[in-house]
Amino acid sequence: MNNPLNPEAINLPFNYSSIKNEFELLASASDTVTSDGTWVIIQANSVVLEQSDSGLSLPSGALPDWLTPQQTPLCIGIWRKKPLLAITVSSRLQLKTPYVAATFNTTDEHLDIQNLTLAGLAKQILHWERQSRHCSRCGAETEPIAATRGKICPSCGAEHFPHIHPCAIVLVKRGNELLLTRKTEWQPGRYSLVAGFLDMGESLEECAIREVREETGIEITNVRYVGSQNWPFPAQLMAGFVADYAGGEIVVDHNELEDARWFSIDSLPTLPPSRSIARWIIDNFKYPQGASFAGM
């Protein structure tokens, strides 16, 4: 049995674990002319879903004329033995019944974990394809490098590979208290974990220590990795850590945060949605002794 403190796979949306048994990812996205597949249709920050008696799902099969894409769909893999096709449509396109745009996030649970994961993967690949059309060194149009997601510039020879940005997210514990923070733009009363982008020259553990210090003035120790979540908004990798309080008083960095404070695990505020690694870490590691996994 896997050590639940260091699971090999966390069954959260956007991680491959939730789809791997029924999905085959193509090594490089390819144009396709088929329409017999499952569609991920991205419209601004939403994904287009089809309403049926059984609920909302990714559309499949032939699309109506008004929704037929102008560009060639990108086939990104095989889902349940059929192509998974990804396209972007204009944000101005008016959707008609039975199609609806569902906000693409982990809070409103329109989609099950598998479909949300497929949509996130398609969104991330479409983003990279759009970002990598031209060489960032000389501006010429790039060409795909076979069997990879990389691009090569035929003009200057530069190679470009997908940009995935690592972030550390950390739960800080002091006895039976958790250090939680909130940003102004979040819904009232909601708190989450300290998180931030990796800086150049840093390890992820060093990033966690620096972010906690910068945002809250708190020093931490015993920083240990607990799991990660892919986060396609547009292309992050959230690396989760748990750490212990080592010293200091809270000094809130108001450039980054509205508030930071210690909460007893018996009276926690509104927390992030259950489909985020922030919530997964809090739920599984809030107790002073470590994990609270079933059976532990």
Binding region for Zn ion (CB under 5 A): 135, 137-138, 140, 153, 155-156, 158
**CB of 244 vs Zn ion, minimal distance in Å:** 48
Strands ordered across the beta sheet of 143-144:
143-144, 151-152, 159-160
> What is the per-residue DSSP string for 129-157?
HHHTSB-TTT-PBPEEPTTSS-EE-TTT-
CB nearer Zn ion, residue 74 or residue 153 = 153
**CB of 60 vs Zn ion, minimal distance in Å:** 39
CB nearer Zn ion, residue 24 or residue 143 = 143
CB nearer Zn ion, residue 151 or residue 182 = 151
Structure-block tokens of residue 27 = 């090594």
C-alpha 41/C-alpha 85 separation (Å) is 8
What is the C-alpha R_g of the chain?
21
C-alpha 44/C-alpha 101 separation (Å) is 9
- Of 154, 147, 142, 120, the C-alpha closest to 230 is 120
**CB of 141 vs Zn ion, minimal distance in Å:** 9
CB nearer Zn ion, residue 137 or residue 165 = 137
C-alpha 279/C-alpha 282 separation (Å) is 5
C-alpha 53/C-alpha 55 separation (Å) is 6
> For 121, what's the count of Cα atoms within 13 Å in the CB-facing half-sphere?
30
Residue 206 in 3-state DSSP?
A: helix
**CB of 67 vs Zn ion, minimal distance in Å:** 36
Q: Are 178 and 268 in contact (CB under 8 A)?
A: yes
**CB of 144 vs Zn ion, minimal distance in Å:** 15
> For 50, what's the count of Cα atoms within 13 Å in the CB-facing half-sphere?
16
CB nearer Zn ion, residue 137 or residue 163 = 137
Q: What are phi and psi of 55, to 5 degrees?
A: 115, -160
**CB of 137 vs Zn ion, minimal distance in Å:** 5
**CB of 86 vs Zn ion, minimal distance in Å:** 26
**CB of 128 vs Zn ion, minimal distance in Å:** 17
Distance of alpha carbon 147 from the chain centroid: 24
C-alpha 135/C-alpha 191 separation (Å) is 40
CB nearer Zn ion, residue 153 or residue 167 = 153
CB nearer Zn ion, residue 145 or residue 237 = 145
CB nearer Zn ion, residue 7 or residue 144 = 144
